[in-house]
Amino acid sequence: MSREDSPLVREVSPDEGYTYMHRAFLHAFLTHSVMTVDEVKPILATVMTAKNPDRPWTAGDVTAPHITSTLQTINAKLSSYDFEIRSTKDQHTKLTLYALVNKTSDALTQLATKFSPAEIAYIRRVLDAMFETNNTHTREVMALKHTEASNLARPRRNRQSQINADEDATQTTDAGISIPEADLVLTSLVHSSFLQKSRAQYFSLAPRALMELRGYLKETYNDPPFSDDPVIRIRDCEGCREIVTHGIRCNNRECGVRWHDACASSYYRGRGGGNRKCPSCDKECTGDAYVGERADKVARGSTGGRRSAVEVEEEEGSE
Amino acid sequence: MPPRLSRRRGADEEATPTQRRRRDDTPEEDEDVDMEDDEQESGSGSVEQLSKGLVRYAISCEHSRKPIKRQDINEKVLGSHTRLFKDVFSRANAELKDVFGMELVELPKAERVTVRQKRAANASESQGKSSNLWVLQTTLPDQYRLPDIIGPSRPLPDDELNKEDSYVGLYTMTIALITIAGGKIPEGKLDRALRRMNADQSTPMGSKDKTLALMAKDGYIVAVKEDEAVDYIIGPRGKVEVGHNGFANLVRMLYGEEQDQEELEKRIERTLNIADAFNNSGVPVESAPAASQTAGRKRGRPRRDEDSD
């Protein structure tokens, strides 16, 4: 509102240190797992007002540096518990989001997911389908249609992600869950902002999940960087260095450059046709080689041996 | 329980073959004994590390409404350091207060309601008063307990229901019904009340039976079976989380502004006294702390955010 009224340099925290104001702000994050900037601002304003009723704050008084410094103070306290409040930009709406993220996934915190082991196994199958089956050299979809997700309710064959196999010492032959149960899991994942469902009915990872699983996804689905011919299934944006599950790719299939829509637009802005060269391979960028559900328009490999077709592609890709 | 080595040096010196065998299942045991002196300060077995583990464990339990059990703390957090429980617990609690603005609150012991339970309780009076179960509760000062900060959850699109919020509403209502009935409500009466609220067939949590079972599992209510009849009483978590204030605020909200406030307050108090009299008729229960707000989870409960204590 009246930005002019506020001093240029604002006193960030009137009395230094960690106070109830920070604890209350942290409570808000424990209650709502993900919040947009516009949701964070009024909360921070309320907290500041509660702290000092003589100096009421409005959402308009809250500036980005203020949020950042408050979060820094909280994160300094949280880091020894392996929690962190991270921020990221939504790949679709470009809004800044904040979420309380658990940095490890040890046995203790798995409880927090509220799901039974069979349901966790189902979620792993969904992730595998998103980032392996539906994420090939030619089709980087990284999303699942509802029917595809339902088909995963019962496990088909041995799971592939190596890490899961090691971790899951409890490989009790998993009978899977029923389709209605799977639907419930999906709905509750959508409710807890872990998955999102697009207008075209695709399930994909929501920003919160990307923040929380960033490490896990790369560890699970990307080969270690120094191995021979590493298969890289998950790549970061050339602009903002965050994971891309919805964006565009370099028109050169062998090139590893990926962009978020917005990041590419701002990078290529003002450059005419013929001048939009990929920063890595110099190939002209047309902006229509998609990553995400828009890539599902690309024809799937020949229907006959889809599995083998995928493998062939991957071999080609690693040349 | 894995057999524990005697940690006393004296006993170790005369190591007999029996002791040797006992060591075999955990090879680190030897080092463990050697490290005994430093382990108070740092390393994986230090009070500092263990209490961090307990803090994380407490927060994850609270997310799934699982009470924090002493036995689970021993198994999942302390491992071979169970004798440090007291130190770790008090340190973790201090850290929870300092960093998260929450603390561990012990749940009241399960009530003895049926004649048989009471008799058993009297026979073994030695059992002690603690339940060894805890839940997390906020320690935020009242000025911060505002709906804008710690609740309620945000609105969803019209066609979707927030299950969590509905659940909070349903168990708060059920606890209120039990309180009004005098601390104990026969199954039939509760069923009838729920039917009047159109919550008898389907609720957002599933069928009515499923909902009640979930409330019982989470410790909001307890089903007491005596002979053929089933009665419901308020469970330990219900007492701590909803408590007197939750009940009073719900009633205040339902009755609205027009009512004669004084009269309403008197009636609330009388109802609570009657329910208390019932609750205290068995083995005495420590009265649940008044500030009954549990933190760390979706809690659509604006009415309880303005606790007046």
- Who among B60, B100, B143 is closest to A23 (CB)? B100
The whole-number pLDDT of residue A173 equals 60
Judged by CB atoms closer than 8 Å, whether chains meet at B101 and A24 is answered as yes
Query: Stretch B281-294: mean pLDDT, rounded?
Result: 43
Task: Pick A31's closest partner by Cβ from B52, B55, B299.
Answer: B299
Cα gap A196→A207, rounded to integer Å: 9
Q: What pLDDT shows up at residue B283? A: 42
Contacts of B98 in chain A (CB under 8 A): 18, 77
* Predicted confidence (pLDDT) per residue in B104-156, tens digit: 999 887 777 667 777 776 666 555 667 888 998 888 888 888 777 776 566 55
- Predicted confidence (pLDDT) per residue in A67-79, tens digit: 999 999 999 999 8
Which of B100, B138, B142 would best serve as a mutation to test chain A binding (most A beta carbons within 10 A)? B100
Q: How far apart are CA B177 and CA B193, in angstroms?
A: 8
Whether residue A109 and residue B298 make contact (CB cut-off 8 A), yes or no, is no
Interchain CB contact of A72 with B (< 8 Å)? no
Angle, CA of A34, A114 and A31, to the nearest 5°: 30
Strands, DSSP E only, in chain A? 34-36, 83-89, 96-102, 144-145, 195-197, 202-205, 247-249, 258-259, 290-291
- Domain end: B103, B138, B173, which one? B138
Per-residue burial over B238-269, b if 16 or more Cβ lie within 10 Å, else e, is bbbbbbbbbbbbbbbeeeeeeeeeeeeeeebe
**Angle in degrees, 0-180, between the axes of helices A179-191 and A117-128, rounded to the nearest 10:** 80
Q: What is the pTM of this model?
A: 0.70
- Mean pLDDT, residues A242-246 taken together: 89
**Distance from chain centroid for Cα A80:** 23
- Give the CA angle between residues B92, B95, B99 to the nearest 5°: 145
Weakest mean pLDDT among A143-157, B41-55, B241-255? B41-55
In a domain, A156, yes or no: yes
pLDDT value for A107: 46
Determine the pLDDT at residue A273: 61
Tell me: do A70 and A140 sit in the same domain: no
Q: What is the pLDDT of residues B176-232, one digit of tens each?
A: 999 988 888 999 999 998 888 888 777 777 788 888 998 998 889 999 888 788 899
Domain count, chain A: 2
**H/E/C letters for each residue in B201-235?**
CEECCEEHHHHHHHHHHHCCEEEEEECCEEEEEEC
Is the pLDDT at A21 greater than 80? The verdict is yes
Mean pLDDT confidence for B22-38: 42
pLDDT tens digits for range A181-222: 888 888 888 877 788 888 888 999 988 888 888 878 888 888
Q: Does A76 lie in the same domain as A120?
A: no
> Do A119 and A267 belong together in one domain?
yes
Give me B31's structure tokens: 């080092």
- Which residue would you say has higher pLDDT here, B64 or A264? A264
Asked if residue A251 belongs to a domain, the reply is yes
Whether A114 has its CB under 8 Å from any CB of chain B: the answer is yes
Q: CB–CB of B52 and A80 under 8 A?
A: yes
Domain extent at residue A76: 3-81
Q: Is A310 contained in some domain? A: no
Cβ-based neighbour number of residue A36 at 10 Å: 14
Domain interval for residue B100: 46-138
Is the bond leading into B152 cis (omega within 30 degrees of zero)? yes
Residue B150 domain-assigned (yes or no): no
State residue A306's pLDDT score.
41
All residues at 6 or more sequence positions from A302 whose CB lies less than 8 Å from its CB, including other chains: A309
Place of tokens 């399930």: A203
Q: How far apart are CA B85 and CA B73, in angstroms?
A: 8
Is the model's pLDDT at A127 over the cut of 70? Answer: yes
Specify the pairing of strand A247-249 against strand A195-197. unpaired
* pLDDT surpasses 60 at A311: no
B142 in Cβ contact with A21 (< 8 Å)? no
At B158, the pLDDT band (50, 70, 90 cuts) reads: low
Which region among A120-129, A144-153, A289-298, B40-49 has the lowest average model confidence (pLDDT)?
B40-49
- The distance of Cα A298 from the centroid of its chain, to the nearest Å, equals 23
What is the pLDDT at residue A264?
Answer: 87
Considering the domain architecture, whether residues B96 and B176 belong to the same structural domain is answered as: no
Quote the pLDDT of residue B259: 61
Token couple for A88:
């990221």
